[in-house]
Amino acid sequence: MRVAVIGAAGLVAKATIADLHRANVDVLGVDIRKPSFDVEYAKGDLRRPSEVASIIKGCDYAINAAQYYFNLQAMRACLKAGVNYVDLGGLFWMTRKQLRLNGEFERERLAALIGMGAEPGITNVAAAHLHHVSGVPERIAVRNAWRNLSDEFRVNWSIDTQMDELSMKAPVFRGGKYVYYQPCSLYEDTKFRQPVGEFRTYLTIHSELATFPSSFPGVGQVDWMEGGTGFEEARLIAKLGFALREEVHGVSPRRYLYELLNKRGLVGYGDAEPKEWESAKVVFSWDHKTSEVEVVIPPRPELGVDATEYGAGVPSSIAVQMGFKGQGVIPPERALNPDRFFEELKKRGFQIYYEESRSL
């Protein structure tokens, strides 16, 4: 099997490629810059999808680990090359655009597995498991948090994605339609298993909302909230205007934020040891009971990645190794066998918990 990984120079892709290499998969890394680790490399730019298509032609799968703004271009490249597509997710608005390409992938008899990261990805498969066990719930709550066990401040997330989450209106699916709220205007205190523990989680825009209502017809409400180490600081940065792209006196606040963090050496871990853990929880609830799956994700210091990067990078590798089948644009809850997927996660150090409670 030959797999192209697009956006191969990033830390998430590093986790993906390491997992593929461990399984002796033939990997081609595609990016505008050469990865710092050992992988067969070809220079390719998603701003030119035809160029990328010519590079990945002949591969069995292409995993898109690039910034989510380029998801549509990566899908077009796969359509042109005749290659099955996998990505790690985008936000709600991008996922809805991707779903519109379903007919084109069906006509080419290709599969596009979208949102196969941690959240979305692991959360989607967890929801599929709960649906199989318990049926359609009245409400689906998806919760995510992370805790850095180090005192050293580092930025381990995509600045663009985080600023989008903190500045775009957030959907809640309720009563058969989407209702939109200001980011972080709803919140709750959520308990996760150790070492993540309890965090205040906030409503933000996220991908699961784009597919859960159709994957689990009859559900009354679906919502997503997140929080964790550094999230309150990120909220403040966004409130101060650094989420803005529009130039102020000739300078884009968001671009300035990115350059400043890079200049100070705060993006990524460098020589520091990654110590951040993450937890993703999906809760199905009814008036009389709740069922939940929680997945605790460890860091992988030997790879130089923390839980956020490891959790986002590994699921796509597992999916292609499982040889997922299908045609069209497919979310993870419709593509993978949950039991087999969870077994593969456990082999890689992920901790998986199932819990059910009933009221008397």
How do the pLDDT tens digits run along the chain, 360 residues long?
A: 999 999 999 999 999 999 999 999 999 999 999 999 999 999 999 999 999 999 999 999 999 999 999 999 999 999 999 999 999 999 999 999 999 999 999 999 999 999 999 999 999 999 999 999 999 999 999 999 999 999 888 888 789 999 999 999 999 999 999 999 999 999 999 999 999 999 999 999 999 999 999 999 999 999 999 999 999 999 999 999 999 999 999 999 999 999 999 999 888 787 789 999 999 999 999 999 999 999 999 999 999 999 999 999 999 999 999 999 899 999 999 999 999 999 999 999 999 999 999 987
Q: Is residue 245 a part of any domain in this protein?
A: yes
Q: How many domains does the chain have?
A: 2
31 close to 360: Cβ distance less than 8 angstroms: no
76 & 149 share domain: no
66 and 162 housed in the same domain: no
- DSSP H helices, the chain, are 11-22, 49-56, 71-81, 92-99, 102-107, 122-134, 159-165, 208-215, 231-237, 253-263, 307-322, 338-347
Domain co-membership, 64 together with 166? no
Residue 43 inside a domain? The answer is yes
Q: What secondary structure letter does DSSP report for 155?
A: B
Name the domain boundary from 87, 113, 139.
Answer: 87
User: Could you tell me if 237 and 148 lie in one domain?
Assistant: yes
Q: Is there a single domain that holds both residue 294 and residue 349?
A: yes
Domain that holds residue 144: 122-308+337-358
Tell whether 229 and 289 lie within a shared domain.
yes
Query: Is there a domain that residue 134 lies in?
Result: yes
One domain for residues 59 and 179:
no
Residue 108 inside a domain? The answer is: no
Is 192 within a domain?
yes
* Residues 196 and 244 occupy one common structural domain: yes
